[in-house]
Homo-oligomer: A and B are copies of this chain.
């Protein structure tokens, strides 16, 4: 079974179990919309991939850890899309949750998903109390204060923010949680896996910044040009588009190098490289640079 299939099956199973019976149907519909809308499921797959490398001796716990990471990610997307932040009408090519279900239910769906993530861990972890404590602590660090994704989003509300700190918190933190969770769900030390999460998380944020500049909305499934419009910290703004692409490539190399010795190291390295191609399609970058070439842009001219 592919990791994506395993992720989708675990999401369906744990979502139903954790939501329970008798909840307000519109709230459940909004939460379902947030979770089952064709996400790439990178974080849970990363967790499962690391768990596989670590022996995966408690697969139900691994699945719960993977699901809880994805639920937290979905919660953050629902709240980030709301008018108070990005005011995005679309997400993954569909109406965003607040567009489809209204702001009140979007607000509650995000809250409900955060709590649901913990509930999923509690459902699976009763028989692994030590691992459970570590996994919940790890999840909480990836989401909360001082360095998790909630803090990352909040840096957008400050007058000034360090770009690296912002990116590490906004995206990197939950990637670090994901790789660490894979090891923790097997009762192993998470530290050797933190680097992979950190490099990959930063690479994703840089890729997001790049795509916000080069992609069109139809391909991306959400509005583009938002970073400049909303004056958000962005690698593409700070380094220029070519600088951001070079930085992305470097981060992917570092991510691949950081993978510790394990039986499926080569498989994991390939997975990282495949993701890089998917995230920042080089032909799209070239096309954009050629179309926007100026005499000041050495690399763009060289590409002609």
Q: A: which residues have CB within 8 A of B?
A: 18-28, 31, 75, 79, 82-85, 102-108, 110-112, 114-116, 118-119, 122, 125-126, 129-130, 132-133, 136-137, 140, 143-148, 150-151, 153-158, 161
- Across the interface, which residues of B come within 8 angstroms of A111, CB to CB? 75, 79, 110-111, 114, 150
Q: Is the interface of A mostly helix, strand, loop or mixed?
A: helix
| A145–B107 touching, CB < 8 Å | no
Copies in the complex: 2
Query: What's the minimum C-beta distance from A171 to chain B, rounded to whole angstroms?
Result: 15
Partner of A133, one of B83, B107, B125: B125
Q: Kindly state the separation between the CA atoms of A122 and B111 in the bound complex, as whole angstroms.
A: 19
| A115–B137 touching, CB < 8 Å | no
Most interface-central of A24, A31, A136 (chain B CB within 10 A): A24
| A104–B129 touching, CB < 8 Å | no
| B119–A27 touching, CB < 8 Å | no
| A122–B136 touching, CB < 8 Å | yes
| B112–A144 touching, CB < 8 Å | yes
Query: What's the minimum C-beta distance from A69 to chain B, rounded to whole angstroms?
Result: 14
- Across the interface, which residues of B come within 8 angstroms of A22, CB to CB? 146-147
- Across the interface, which residues of B come within 8 angstroms of A79, CB to CB? 107-108, 111
- Across the interface, which residues of B come within 8 angstroms of A27, CB to CB? 145, 150-151, 154, 157
Partner of A140, one of B103, B106, B122: B122
Partner of A104, one of B18, B85, B145: B85
Query: What's the minimum C-beta distance from A271 to chain B, rounded to whole angstroms?
Result: 29
Query: What's the minimum C-beta distance from A134 to chain B, rounded to whole angstroms?
Result: 10
Q: Kindly state the separation between the CA atoms of A28 and B137 in the bound complex, as whole angstroms.
A: 20
| A150–B118 touching, CB < 8 Å | no
Q: Kindly state the separation between the CA atoms of A18 and B85 in the bound complex, as whole angstroms.
A: 25
| A158–B24 touching, CB < 8 Å | yes
Most interface-central of A31, A115, A118, A158 (chain B CB within 10 A): A115
| B107–A119 touching, CB < 8 Å | no
| A156: nearest chain-B partner, CB-CB | B104
Partner of A151, one of B18, B23, B154: B23
- Across the interface, which residues of B come within 8 angstroms of A28, CB to CB? 145
- Across the interface, which residues of B come within 8 angstroms of A103, CB to CB? 83-84
Q: Kindly state the separation between the CA atoms of A300 and B277 in the bound complex, as whole angstroms.
A: 76
| A115–B133 touching, CB < 8 Å | no
